[in-house]
């Protein structure tokens, strides 16, 4: 057959994080892993960006200006399209993990500061790579 190869579609990840250094670090690491990475730093922007980008995975900080991580997951769970988008929650507050136990789309919790290698493994598992 001819040498036509179907282009590989990159999986899209949305990072919602208000700490610029963490946001940039994750963006660089995940871009190098071959993902198409989108970012936003407020809870209000998160839902609109999700609807626009339709990510395969959302990495979500808990403490965000405007709308916190729990509020975002609640809105996602009530949305026909976003309710099936997997989420990994990241937080410096370990006890906040309990706040997400009722949401099946939350596939993981990563405590900050995180070990990047372990975090990437968790992301790959959640996104199906």
Domain ranges of the chain: 12-127
pLDDT of residue 123: 92
DSSP string of the chain?
--S--PPPPPPEEEEE-S-HHHHHHHHHHHHHTT-EEEEESSHHHHHHHHHHH--SEEEEESS-SSS-HHHHHHHHHTSTTGGGS-EEEEES-GGGGGGGTT-TTEEEEEESSP-HHHHHHHHHHHHT-
The mean per-residue pLDDT over the stretch 95-123 comes to 90
pLDDT tens profile 53-66: 999 999 999 999 88
pLDDT of residue 78: 96
User: Of 52-56, 74-78, 79-83, 92-96, which range is least confident?
Assistant: 92-96
Mean pLDDT of the chain: 91
Strand pairing report for 12-16 and 36-40: parallel
pLDDT of residue 8: 67
pLDDT of residue 1: 46
CATH superfamily of this structure's domain 12-127: Response regulator (3.40.50.2300)
Asked if residue 17 lies in contact with residue 41, where contact means CB atoms within 8 angstroms, the answer is yes
pTM of the predicted model, to two decimals?
0.90
pLDDT band at 80 (very low <50, low <70, confident <90, very high): very high
């Amino acid at each position: 057959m001819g040498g036509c190869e179907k282009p590989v579609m990159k999986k899209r990840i949305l990072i919602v994080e208000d700490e610029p250094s963490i946001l940039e670090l994750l963006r660089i690491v995940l871009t190098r892993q071959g993902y198409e990475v989108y970012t936003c730093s407020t809870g209000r922007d998160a839902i609109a960006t999700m609807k626009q980008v339709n990510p395969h995975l959302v990495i979500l900080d808990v403490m965000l200006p405007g709308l916190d991580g729990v509020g975002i997951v609640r809105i996602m769970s009530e949305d026909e399209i976003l309710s099936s988008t997997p989420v990994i929650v990241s937080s410096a507050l370990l006890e906040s993990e309990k706040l997400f136990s009722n949401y099946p789309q939350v596939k993981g919790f990563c405590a900050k500061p995180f070990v990047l290698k372990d975090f990437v493994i968790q992301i790959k598992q959640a996104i199906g790579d």
